[in-house]
Amino acid sequence: MTATVIDGKAFAAKVRGQVADHVARLKEAHGITPGLAVVLVGEDPASQVYVRSKGKMTVEVGMKSVEHKLDADTSEEDLLAVVKSLNEDPEIHGILVQLPLPGHLNEDLVINSIDPAKDVDGFHISNVGLLGTGQKSMVPCTPLGCLMMLRDHHGSLSGLNAVVIGRSNIVGKPMAQLLLGDSCTVTIAHSRTKDIQDVVRGADVVVAAVGRPEMVTGEWIKPGATVIDVGINRIDAPEKGEGKTRLVGDCHYDSCADVAGAITPVPGGVGPMTIACLLANTVTACCRANGLAEPEGLTA
Ligand code: NDP
């Protein structure tokens, strides 16, 4: 292996430390405590785990954490009423509705009912439009975390060829917008892209957000390129014992690490950055709501 490992776990701890410092200053100088509300509908086990760790880390950085747990059969009307009450609550600066929602609820409608200034996931259509036109917005957490790691590693990204594999609204598209904002030449690859390996081989920066275990191998990677692996896939791991599983990314780690200049591992790469950026977005939203200076280095 030749690649430098980009340690997302350590980087996320550093970001959380910066958030905690800013929260302490907000309390001391202005008597303001940033507040994050998470709304969970239903009992999806993975969502419950995410919500628990978001709540724990919110408290750890000194912010107020509020959780609304609603039954799986909650009506759209009731869910919209909860969001409305959070929109109107001056102690809440960030609102996150945990996705996916149960099938009877219209996700777009619910997300677009969040006050865009409190939309710390950056999924509201207003924030999507602001990001797309290069204006100040709330930026989706996972792509923001990827951008922070890339800036930290490269300094300037200007002029680099970047290929984003995946065009989802939550990762691929905002990632491409952010890289464009940092003056990369950006290509978005997806399931219909022809000769995808050749496309990826032209990249100085590869961001893989596909959801296909170990799809990208070392042969796809230009020597020295930076590989950011967003994928989180659970696969069988018979070598660990019967019925055991392990997490892998969208990139085949060992073969990519042999060719790349730098790479994020899975787990311990992009994953921890996502929650750190959620906390960063909440403190940013709190500062904006109060007309105060935003923390440096925690926004796009
Ligand atoms: P989606 O399923 O919404 O999007 C996947 C994208 O990959 C689509 O654009 C799809 O193309 C493309 N794709 C699928 N198969 C191929 C292929 N064979 N070749 C090229 N492109 C392909 O996934 P998400 O964006 O939500 O998530 C992507 C991955 O990132 C998942 O593993 C997810 O678990 C992980 N993730 C990790 C997070 C973290 O915190 N680290 C946060 C969010 C996601 P098309 O549009 O043509 O179908």
Predicted pLDDT of residue 55: 96
Distance 168 CA to ligand 1 centre (A): 6
Tokens of 234: 């659970």
User: Does residue 74 belong to any structural domain of this protein?
Assistant: yes
Asked if 71 and 165 sit in the same domain, the reply is no
Tell me which residue has its CA closest to atom 12 in ligand 1: 166
User: Is there a single domain that holds both residue 58 and residue 180?
Assistant: no
Band of pLDDT at residue 211, cut at 50, 70 and 90: very high
* Backbone dihedral region for residue 65 (phi beyond 0: left; psi -120 to 50: alpha; all else: beta): beta
| Number of domains into which the chain is organized | 2
Q: How many CB atoms lie within 10 A of CB 197?
A: 13
Contact 257, 8 (CB under 8 A): no
Is-cis flag, bond preceding 223, omega within 30?
A: no
Q: Which residue has the tokens 């890289």?
A: 179
Q: Which amino acid residue places its CA nearest to atom 1 of ligand 1?
A: 168
Confidence label for 212 from pLDDT (cuts 50, 70 and 90): very high
- Tell whether 159 and 70 lie within a shared domain: no
pLDDT at 274: 96
pLDDT at 67 over 80: yes
> Would residue 141 be called left, alpha or beta, if left means φ above 0 and alpha means ψ between -120 and 50 degrees?
alpha
Chain centroid to CA 224: 25
Assess if residue 128 is contained within a domain: no
Whether residue 40 sits in one domain with residue 104: yes
Arithmetic mean of pLDDT, 25-44: 97
Residues with catalytic function: 54, 98, 121
Give the CATH number, domain containing residue 219. 3.40.50.720
pLDDT recorded at residue 231: 98
Structure tokens given for 155: 């300094």
What is the reported pLDDT for 5?
A: 98
Minimal-distance CA residue to ligand 1 atom 19? 191
Residues with Cβ within 6 A of ligand 1?
A: 142, 165-168, 170-172, 189-192, 196, 209-212, 230-233, 270-271, 274
Residues 193 and 147 in one domain: yes
The percentage of the chain sitting over the pLDDT mark of 90, rounded to a whole number, equals 99
Nearest-angstrom CA–CA distance, 196 and 214: 15
Question: Ligand 1: distance of its center to the CA of 189 in Å?
Answer: 11
Per-residue pLDDT band for 283 (boundaries 50, 70, 90) equals very high
**Residue 295's pLDDT band (cuts 50, 70, 90):** very high
Residue 289 within a domain: no
User: Is residue 17 a part of any domain in this protein?
Assistant: no
Residue 1 reports pLDDT greater than 80: no
Mutate to test the pocket of ligand 1, among 165, 199, 230, 233 (most ligand atoms within 8 A of CB): 230
Q: Can you give the CATH number for the domain in which 71 is found?
A: 3.40.50.10860
pLDDT exceeds 90 at position 272:
yes
Q: Would you say residue 180 lies in a domain?
A: yes
Q: Is 147 left (phi over 0), alpha (psi -120 to 50) or beta?
A: alpha
Residue 32 — pLDDT band, cuts 50, 70, 90?
A: very high
Pocket mutation for ligand 1, best pick of 15, 232, 264, 270 (most atoms within 8 Å of C-beta): 232
Mutation choice for ligand 1 from 50, 54, 210, CB with most ligand atoms inside 8 A: 210
Q: Is residue 259 part of a domain?
A: yes
Which atom of ligand 1 is the closest one to the Cα of 269?
A: 41
Q: What is the pLDDT of residue 82?
A: 98
pLDDT score at 7: 98
202 belongs to a structural domain: yes
Tokens of 59: 């408290």
For the beta sheet containing 185-189, the strands, ordered from the edge strand earlier in sequence to the opposite edge, are 4-5, 262-263, 226-229, 205-208, 161-165, 185-189
Range 20-25 average pLDDT: 98
Same domain, 190 and 81: no
From the CA of 293, how far away is ligand 1's center (Å)?
A: 35
Is pLDDT of 185 > 80?
yes
pLDDT at 20 (0 to 100)? 98
Q: Single out the residue of 280, 282, 204, 293 nearest to residue 11, CA to CA.
A: 280
What is the distance in A from the centroid of ligand 1 to the CA of 164?
Answer: 10
- Burial (CB count <10 Å: 0-12, 13-18, 19+), residue 176: buried
The pLDDT tens digits of the residues spanning 110-163 come to: 999 999 999 999 999 999 999 999 999 999 999 999 999 999 999 999 999 999
Residue 89 pLDDT level (bands cut at 50, 70, 90): very high
Distance 163 CA to ligand 1 centre (A): 14
Domain span including residue 85: 30-117
Query: How high does pLDDT run on average in the chain?
Result: 97
149 shares its domain with 232: yes
Gap from CA of 221 to ligand 1 centroid (Å): 19
- The last residue of one of the domains, among 117, 149, 183, is 117
Residue 227 and residue 263 in contact, taking contact as beta carbons nearer than 8 Å: yes
Which is the closest atom of ligand 1 to the Cα of 250? 32
Q: What was the pLDDT predicted at 134?
A: 95
In terms of domains, do 165 and 198 share one? Answer: yes
Mean pLDDT for the stretch of residues 240-268: 97
